[in-house]
Amino acid sequence: MVRAAFCRIRDFNSFTVLESVTEMRRLGKTGLSVAPIVIGGNVFGWTADEKTSFAILDAFFDAGLNTIDTADVYSSWVPGNKGGDSEEIIGRWLSQAKVSRDKAVIVTKVGSDMGQGKTLKETYILKAVEDSLRRLQTDYIDVYLSHWPDEDTPHEETLGAYAKLKQQGKIRAIGCSNYDAKLLQASFDAAEKAGLPRYDVLQPEYNLYERASFEGPLADLCVKEDIGVITYFSLAAGFLTGKYRSKADTQGRAREGRVSKYLDDKGLRILAALDTVSAETGAKPAEISLAWLLRKKGVTAPIASATSLSQLESLAKSATLALSDDAMALLDEAGA
């Protein structure tokens, strides 16, 4: 948990940069420690060009934060991109950054469709990790995640591939994304029976709007098994920043298709609750949404993206925002 933190603002090359010292959180049984906010690399090479991405990463680490999340498939959905674009930008930043490699926790994922369909077969993983290492310009990946379940590949085969990579020192810890409680438990059972490493990190979709898939059995299992949980879509594709209040607000935006689904009665109730808490605390909706996640059972740290330094400053503030029980109850009810 975050027990003590302080921050200050300074000017840096005409930008305002948030500097802070924040107590770290254990990432389950991985032996790694992460700051309360993880920077999402999905925007690198998409809505943030390389220069902007470098500035965001510099400021992120200046703020005492330390973990970057990406995937081999980011950002293949952008016309002209091939996938691996985010990893390449992070790799070029790592090669010239003032931050030493051991101070950065790099999370990336394997198994998405890079032209061969979604797969977690051993031969594919052993090749894909080499591609990610090359793009990231590093000798090892701190946390390597199975991006999607693969019902055609036994857990033992996938975990066996990871065991080889851990032995070779190419990855430090493993985890999975988009697994439900039943599938995660099955992977634990397979690992124990075969004497293979288990998943120690989970990356689920979880935010004020999307709650049902994590809360309940999956969250309970993560707490029971001491799984590190880093949530994605923590701001619901930007909806929980409060800047999208109607369909008109989304038109022509890069996230138009992703945000529109939240503009229903439930979404508007959540925005109203965020406005109420914002008026009481002076915090922005995005800061409140992330602070809410940081108080939820089982959550280690939410992932959030930034495309400007002002957005990054707001994300960093959320790590030290303490919400009252009344505020938590109001937000819980709105998004129930």
**Three-class HEC string of 90-113:** HHHHHHHCCCCHHHCEEEEEECCC
Helix axis angle, 309-318 to 285-294, nearest 10°: 40
Is it the case that residue 2 has pLDDT exceeding 90?
no
73 CA to centre of own chain: 15
pLDDT at 19: 45
10 Å CB burial of residue 92 (0-12, 13-18, 19+) is middle
pTM equals 0.91
- Which of the residue ranges 11-20, 160-169, 174-183, 212-221 would you say has the lowest mean pLDDT? 11-20
pLDDT at 22: 63
CB 48, CB 81: distance < 8 Å: no
Mean pLDDT of 179-197: 98
Task: Say which amino acid occupies 245.
Answer: R
Is it the case that residue 15 has pLDDT exceeding 60?
no
Listed in sequence order, the residues at least 6 apart from 297 whose beta carbon sits closer than 8 Å to its beta carbon are 219, 223
pLDDT at 253: 60
Beta carbons within 10 angstroms of residue 310's beta carbon: 11
167 CA to centre of own chain: 26
pLDDT at 11: 37
- Which of the residue ranges 123-127, 247-251, 290-294 would you say has the lowest mean pLDDT? 247-251
Share above pLDDT 70 across residues of the chain, in percent, rounded to a whole number: 90
Is it the case that residue 161 has pLDDT exceeding 90?
yes
- What are the counts of helices (DSSP H) followed by strands (DSSP E) for the chain? 12, 12
pLDDT at 4: 35
CB 308, CB 272: distance < 8 Å: no
Cα–Cα dist 180/221, whole Å: 10
pLDDT at 198: 98
pLDDT at 23: 81
Q: Which residues are catalytic?
A: 74
Mean pLDDT of 202-216: 97
Q: Phi-psi region for residue 163, left (φ > 0), alpha (ψ -120 to 50) or beta?
A: alpha
Cα–Cα dist 7/99, whole Å: 19
Half-sphere exposure of 285 toward its Cβ, with a 13 Å CA cutoff? 21
Is it the case that residue 233 has pLDDT exceeding 70?
yes
pLDDT at 1: 36
Is it the case that residue 12 has pLDDT exceeding 50?
no
pLDDT at 256: 56
Is it the case that residue 258 has pLDDT exceeding 60?
yes
Report in angstroms the alpha-carbon separations of 243 from 41, 275, 311, 315.
Answer: 21, 12, 12, 15
Mean pLDDT of 242-260: 70
pLDDT at 100: 94
250 or 237: which leads in pLDDT: 237
284 CA to centre of own chain: 20
